[in-house]
Structure 1
């Protein structure tokens, strides 16, 4: 039976500090710092999931928006795929939904990737069918992940996220992209997506764009209830 697991993982990063001799104004130095990220998350297993299935299962990484950040994991059930799961929708792939523990900070993308790698390693996941999606602040993080880890994801769907135009040059051209945005968004302007999609098309990327008329920042309410989105995702596989 399909079910959701609640888990917490601690992410550590290490850096080294070495001493130096200040013989000039230009000093050669190195520092090691230690950072820790506490990530709570839900992990959804689809109906029929088997650990020994030879084909493996796809996995969707979902990154929520700023409003669901903090320490109460229940918050991320308010929107996107987690909301649909609570309402009884079934998906044909695993869904990993971590929570950004920082109310006022961006997603720690390095920590996200360490969590993702850990989940993939311990579950029956087809590494060629890992999908990425995010809304608002999570959509912005999705663009960032696509640039930093261009060969990781089979497809990406971004909903009303900030989209720095230079990122277009770093994204894997073989990865299909679907962008959603409302034309009355007063939080993150629709121009962010307009310009990014135009740039991607100019560079011959495989990109779709759904631009909702008379819709504000909550375009995720329509985007994530679009069945065609999940049909599209499940048909993507890294070549």
Structure 2
């Protein structure tokens, strides 16, 4: 038997298999979106400068009315408003701003954001969390599906997902989601559908149905129990 020839054939087979794996890997690993740096607000804990430890990171995604180029718009409600009121946290918060005419699924904004934060700050990469409301709730679901191995947990508020068929990509990701039963902007059925599909693929998703609430559930960002839950989750 021609052993050198056999070895070459085995090597060629391995290379072909590797090529097939690259070609067929998931969209999250081969996104064709343009990388865009979005402006963002940043909160850093008061003790950060005096310590050398890595810090958890929470990324907050705003709703459609806060799109644009004015970061002060983000302070009108949600997590940036809570920070503006003086509440302190034991984690870093990055609040990017989506440009006018775009949604959170338009560009690859996450990778440039994380690259910059990891370069300039001590980020605990095992404790990166994502939350958002309304359009940001959609962004939370969809970004998690696109990057299923990046986050330790997500908290989407009154959102949905443009392609719910991919939701099982986050079947191992801790999820706590909220939606108002009287929401006439984004119907609660959007969240119910995702929760049902996640449960079917084995995710023990936590769903808080707010029977008396409509779309305006931004007050939840003042609820400390959400952050306590987040910080217990690790990759």
How far apart are residue 89 of structure 1 and its match?
Answer: 0.6
> What is the RMSD computed on CA atoms of the aligned residues?
2.0
Structure 1 residue 36: Cα displacement? 7.2
Do residues 92 (structure 1) and 81 (structure 2) align?
no
- Matched positions, count: 202
Deviation at 1:165? Answer: 2.3
The superposition leaves residues 18-45 of structure 1 with CA deviations (integer Å, 9 ceiling, x where unpaired) of xxxxxxxxxxxxxxx9967452211110
Gap change, CA 1:175 and 1:235, over 3 Å in 2? same
Q: Is 2:42–2:94's contact at 8 Å kept on the other side of the alignment? A: yes
2:223 is equivalent to residue 234 of structure 1: no
Deviation at 1:232, TM superposition (A): 0.3
CA deviation after TM superposition for structure 1 residue 122, in Å: 1.7
Q: Which has the higher strand share?
A: 1
Larger Rg computed on CA atoms: 2
| TM superposition shift of 1:153 | 0.3
State the 1:112 CA deviation: 2.7
Q: Does 1:214 align with 2:212?
A: yes
Higher helix share: 2
Q: TM-score, normalized by length of structure 2? A: 0.80
Stretches of structure 2 that go unaligned for 5 or more consecutive residues are: 1-31
- From the superposition, tell whether residues 146 and 36 of structure 1 become closer, same or farther in structure 2 (CA, over 3 Å): closer
For 1:178 and 1:137, locate their aligned partners in 2 and report how far apart those are by CA, in whole Å: 17
Per the TM alignment, residue 132 of structure 1 is displaced from its structure 2 partner at its CA by: 0.5
Kept in 2, the 8 Å contact 1:38–1:101? The answer is no
Cα offset, 1:95, TM superposition: 0.1
Q: Distance in 2 between matches of 1:35 and 1:149?
A: 15
Structure 1 runs (4+) greater than 3 angstroms displaced: 33-38
Q: Shift of the alpha carbon at 1:203?
A: 1.8
